[in-house]
Structure 1
């Protein structure tokens, strides 16, 4: 037996230096004869019910013709187990000869995590890593590759040999580097011979709104395995951190990191973090702190240490060996606080974390979900019963994602150790209150007053419509999501004018899903007028903030920013005569000159009013008025009918 193992090791080192383990077919016959057969059998792993359901959903969709599929699993759902299970159970319907698998990841920790799971489940297969100085042998059965490395080594891979491409954290998959890799492996042009592509993430969406439809055709399984059984229950607390983000610029839909670091990394804000931990989490054994950048990490770590708390750091500059040792000691409970920036947001398995401090403000629900997810794994034998999520809420009037926003609550709401069920109940109560307020406002808007004299009646009608058109309160929701000049036409429909070039619409359909369409003007130089057939930019988007981000991304890649930005200087200029002429029927002449002198009729404001008129606000308003009058006539008729049926008796003497 010893002789066989020595031969095996020598053969592997000679021909397969970068492989984790040789395959039986790669060994000499005399070596195989010395090895017991069970040494090559895969370790039996029993899937949980939902994991089995997920695997079956993928295989069923594949047999129905799907080639590019996404699955959504919460942190702790066992996506790596599902990945590796697919390798043995999936055979390409049109390419049975293809047997290799490629696993794409974007961070070093995820590479080793996937390799470890594959090695555990498939001891008989050759597993190779393509990353940095590790160059995978193309003869391996399973290649686990960092995208940054394989993108420069694609020429050595024969795409025809690969049946399956697995993408971890697939919300990154529409980036140029991923697209280049997928193009090489013939995964972009979908046909029956396209390799099966399966992407997985806890958050199958992108913050910039770019549609994952470029890579994924169908979400075949979605499950938020939340808290009850599989994961450690969270307990949320928010703290007002005194950080002011009003001056921080945006970059790619989130905060600019340099500006964010300057705003967040202050003595006052960092002192609040330490004091909060001492007051609310000092009994916690393993706290993970998310910071903005390396300077912020150092400042927070130093603050902890000055207060006698043993804190250590891990950043992108931490040496690999140092990072590994620090992580092992943290898992062993040898120090209570680990401070990082951007290292542990995805994929890292540290089950003992029982407190997460979110000191890194973000607009991204994906990012805050990933950060929270680091603390939701169960940890047997450590005494962990829940995870305390402490969100250092910064001051910003628009568009920030906080723990409360994940449950539909106001981002500025301060909560103290609330459970998800309590937060959901609070969100439902506030939603009910908002609905009642909206219904009351609608009744007031559509209320018909007794007819005044004819001249006053006309003036009142015009004034009412003008107030509706010029009231920008309905746009405040969009203002929190976008810096572009979106106009709310009515609930569920929003329009962004691109001047004479056309316009973009975001509209909710009858089933509650949003779609984005572009309407381009026909070229006037060809004697054409009107609009070309609308172009569908994206569809099937569930949430308004996501569809607005996607529409913004598309718009800024298509039109100049100064044409569509709400802050553009041209919007502050006086309205043109042509604009004013259009509005005359909605406002009396006697008010015209006063409004001009007051400077309230700017190009931007009047342009927004014209957009509302052209796209249905007035029509919707009048339809509502007519419907209200119809209901009131029906109610009056019913009252008269009941009065006729009443029997009145005189006095009995």
Structure 2
């Protein structure tokens, strides 16, 4: 028995010596940057920086760094000799414990997680933050804060979470233990500040520098554009909402594109890791790979532990060529043989993206490089999508083809080629889009006006002297009225007044739809102006239902003083406005009115307006009100000229003569007014004016009425001219495009010899 005991003791001694030899060998084989990081941290600790963060990329050996740092952190007191290592996943706990035992075999290391209770006497406690930091948990009370010299936080970008905060608060004392954290990405996408936990990032080394020095595996990048759109996916906590993202990208076409990309680009790769959005997406991808002849399995949160270990073992051994996961292998996964990473999960989080990217960056025997296939879906520029190009400071939509991540010249060359190609495509697309928009605009105007059902008393547009829809434009009012007068000069004066009213309102139907003086601003928007209010009926053309809705804007005055009566320029009515005040209108507010057609909308709004106005106000707004049939005022014509209308000189003369006659100061007979009108018409440059003058008969010729002028002023003031000018430009562009196509067709015909 004694011999057995002595043998066992010698065996333990030999094992301890072996561990110490391994420790000595490991301590002298730290990479230069790892030793530099430890030396920097210790020097700054000596200088008083007690809450430090270190940023090192995935695969750089962060666990090795803190495993060797632990022994070198001085104890602030005789009893404060213990170290607490915090991690949030079981794989990270096991990895940290294993590495610490290797680096410091003389230390007693214990794991505190769930049902596993750590021995409080252990030198190093590797603890689950979910276990210690749980709300109202007594587990944390088992650890005496005064016994700890150091707290290590693995994957430190999680350290601002509430569970970490509860643990750190427990260990706060007069000075508290030294807090050290490490992560590949020391920032969070949820907005929580890591500065509340760490004072400074004391050491960092970019992953490109690590690749350049050979510490990380060479990386080749291929980006694949898909037809899947993700610009409509909502955001949640700084990233895409998982359920909405899965619904957008988990479609057959995109899943097939992923499988085809592996078949075409990574068929010879031994170990391909695919990142999916969620469980459903991962399962669909596995089915797609298997369907097209590639062995694949998935590791999910619901995968039993034994099954997960079996799958990971097969993947490490190269028996399983494709492994799909969602949120399982993003952190703490040490599988160096991964030689292809497929980014099938779009993300706005640089933290998540770099964690996924880093899975293939570790060196491994026989591994020449890692291929990263990044799938870039259609997105708006305003969306901060993270891709491999964005990590390199390039355009997120840059398409790379098997490009070495360190080959800046090749990337710049591809970027320039893509820029030129995109410019050509953009010019072509813009032309096509513009052409479609132009055609849609022209069709919309023509459908709204040319095909409308006109009142029988007015006849057809052609009979009224119209040759194009543009004649309803306020800027073309005089040319349209001239043509109409030449063609229909035999009709009665009353009919011509009605015709002028219809033309000036912008819609030939309006005089028959309503007695009140509505005007058309665009085919989808109509206006009724009254003193201190403006009423609108509008239609949302993007809505398939195309319902009409009512709204209102009201006048408001500023810097009010003593009230005075001021004439409203366009019309005969008076409005009370404080002297020296300024007027503006409130924002447009909806009225509870909805109709399926314009007729119902106008009638409904008429009912509403009639209930709010007094009878004399309604009479003034009637299209047949006597004041509207009078000649326009000089002020109205001045307003129209200022708004861009080209008014014939004859009309100005006529208005002045009419104003003089009304005031009784002109003393001019009507016959002499007609003579001067005819003379002015003949002298005007327009080729149509002379023919119009020939049709003038004494006392029954009207070019414009006061009501028509009011209509035109309202339309021009509220954007009608802009809409009609856009229509004119659209027709010009369509004409130019048709001419260009005809010339191209003619040239092609000439090249091939023709008939």
Smaller-chain TM-score range? 0.5 to 0.7
> Could you say which residue in structure 2 is the equivalent of 1:98?
80
The answer as to 2:26 corresponding to 1:41 is no
What does residue 72 of structure 1 align with? 55
Match of 2:184 among 197, 202, 207: 202
| Residues 409 and 427, structure 1, Cα contact 8 Å, conserved in 2 | no
Report what 1:278 is aligned to: 263
User: Are the structure 2 counterparts of residues 579 and 344 from structure 1 closer, same or farther at C-alpha, using a change threshold of 3 Å?
Assistant: farther
Report how many residues are paired.
427
Distance 1:390 1:78 in 2: 25
Q: Deviations over 1:582-611 (max 9, x none)?
A: 999xxxx98999999459xxxxxxxxxxxx
Q: Does the 8 Å CA contact 2:53/2:181 hold for their aligned counterparts?
A: yes
Alignment match, 2:193: 211
Distance 1:100 1:427 in 2: 52
Structure 1 residues 578 and 175, CA gap change in structure 2 (3 angstroms): farther
1:89 partner SS: coil
Which aligned pairs between 1:586-597 and structure 2 lie closer than 5 A?
597=718
Going from structure 1 to structure 2, the CA distance change for 1:157 and 1:384 (only over 3 Å counts) comes to same
Q: What whole-Å deviation, never above 9, does each CA across 1:342-362 have from its counterpart, x for those lacking one?
A: 111112111111100000000
Q: Distance in 2 between matches of 1:47 and 1:233?
A: 21
1:5 Cα deviation from its structure 2 partner: 8.8
SS in 1 for 2:360: coil
CA RMSD in angstroms comes to 3.4
How far residue 247 of structure 1 moved from its aligned partner, in angstroms, is 2.2
Equivalent position of 1:473 in the other structure: none
Q: Select which of 105, 112, 125 maps to 1:130.
A: 112
Per-residue CA deviations over 1:128-169 (Å, capped at 9, x if unaligned) read 111222121211111111111122311111111111111111
Of 352, 355, 364, 1:370 maps to: 355
Please give the alpha-carbon distance, in whole angstroms, between the structure 2 residues aligned to 1:411 and 1:574. 45
The alpha-carbon distance between structure 1 residues 2 and 221, as it changes in their structure 2 partners (threshold 3 A), is farther
Distance 2:273 2:583 in 1: 58
Runs (5+) with no aligned partner, structure 2: 420-550, 560-580, 585-638, 644-712, 721-755
The C-alpha deviation readout for 1:287-313, integer Å capped at 9, x for no partner, is 000000011110000111111111011
Q: 2:555 touches 2:583 (CA, 8 Å); kept in 1? A: no
Would you say the 8 A contact 1:4–1:34 is kept in 2?
Answer: no
Q: Does the CA contact (< 8 Å) of 2:400 and 2:411 recur in 1?
A: no
- How far apart, CA to CA, are the structure 1 residues paired with 2:211 and 2:363? 9
Q: CA deviation at 1:227?
A: 1.3
Aligned to 2:130: 148
Partner residue in 2 for 1:261: 246
Taking the TM superposition and a 5 Å limit, the aligned residue runs for 1:346-357 are: 346-357=331-342
- The CA deviation at 1:38 is 2.2
Structure 1 residues 416 and 430, CA gap change in structure 2 (3 angstroms):
closer
**Separation in 2, partners of 1:257, 1:379:** 33
1:390 to 373, 394, 397: 373
**In 1, distance between residues paired with 2:183 and 2:268?**
32
The answer to which of 174-183 and 407-416 deviates more is 407-416
Query: Distance in 1 between the 2:178 and 2:58 partners?
Result: 24
TM-score, scaled to structure 1:
0.61
Aligned to 1:449: none
CA contact (8 A) 1:98 1:163 kept: yes
**Within 5 A, what are the aligned runs for 1:103-182?**
103-151=85-133, 152=137, 153-182=139-168
The alignment partner of 1:372 has SS state of: helix
1:137 counterpart SS class = coil
Q: Structure 1's 391 and 141: CA in aligned 2 closer, same or farther, altered over 3 A?
A: same
Q: Secondary structure at the match of 2:407?
A: helix
CA gap of 1:240–1:140, structure 2 versus 1, over 3 A, is: same
Q: Conserved in 1, the CA contact under 8 Å of 2:556 and 2:583?
A: no
- Give, in angstroms, the shift of residue 401 of structure 1: 0.8
Displacement after TM superposition at 1:424 (Å): 7.0
Structure 1 pair 140/299, CA: closer, same or farther in 2 (3 Å)? same
C-alpha contact (below 8 Å) 1:407/1:427 kept by paired residues = no
Query: Residues 237 and 417 of structure 1 are in contact (CA less than 8 Å); yes or no, is this contact kept in structure 2?
Result: yes
- 5 Å-filtered alignment, 1:55-66, equals 55-66=38-49
Separation in 1, partners of 2:583, 2:37: 57
Moved more, 223-232 or 159-168: 223-232
| Partners of 2:275 and 2:345 within 8 A in 1 | yes
In the alignment, the residues of structure 2 paired with residue 66 and residue 242 of structure 1 have an alpha-carbon distance, to the nearest angstrom, of: 51
Structure 2 residue matching 1:421: 3-state secondary structure: coil
Structure 1 runs (4+) greater than 6 angstroms displaced: 428-431, 572-584, 589-596
Q: Call closer, same or farther: CA 1:402–1:60 in 2, change over 3 Å.
A: same
Instruction: Report the 3-state secondary structure (helix = DSSP H, G, I; strand = E; otherwise coil) of the residue aligned with 1:35.
Output: helix
CA distance in 1, matches of 2:412, 2:128: 41
Q: 1:276 to 1:195 in 2, by over 3 A?
A: same
Q: Structure 1: state its 5+ residue gaps.
A: 8-30, 435-571, 600-653
Residue of structure 1 equivalent to 2:506: none
Equivalent positions of 1:414-425 (< 5 A) are 414-423=399-408
Q: Give the distance between the partners of 1:303 and 1:50, measured in 2 at CA.
A: 43
Q: 1:34 to 1:66 in 2, by over 3 A?
A: closer
Structure 1 residues 271 and 578: alpha-carbon distance in aligned structure 2, compared to 1, 3 A threshold? farther
> Whose radius of gyration is greater, 1 or 2?
2
Indicate how the Cα distance of structure 1 residues 411 and 124 shifts in structure 2: closer, same or farther if over 3 A, else same: same
Cα distance change, pair 430–97 in 1 and its aligned pair in 2 (3 A): same
What is the CA distance between 1:76 and its match in structure 2? 1.6
Query: How far did residue 266 of structure 1 move?
Result: 0.8
Instruction: Quote the offset at 1:121 in angstroms.
Output: 2.1
8 Å Cα contact 2:221/2:400 also seen in 1: yes
Looking at structure 2, the residues matched to 573 and 244 of structure 1 have their Cα atoms a distance apart, in angstroms, of: 38
List per-residue Cα deviations over 1:536-577 (Å, max 9, x = no partner): xxxxxxxxxxxxxxxxxxxxxxxxxxxxxxxxxxxx998997
Tell me which residue corresponds to 2:344: 359
Q: Say whether 1:246 aligns with 2:224.
A: no
**1: distance between equivalents of 2:399 and 2:177?**
49
Would the alpha carbon gap of residues 390 and 95 (structure 1) be closer, same or farther in structure 2, given more than 3 Å must change?
Answer: same
In the superposition, the TM-score normalised over structure 2's length comes to 0.53
Give the match for residue 442 of structure 1: none
Higher relative contact order (CA 8 A, sep 6+): 1
Q: Does the CA contact (< 8 Å) of 1:99 and 1:141 recur in 2?
A: yes
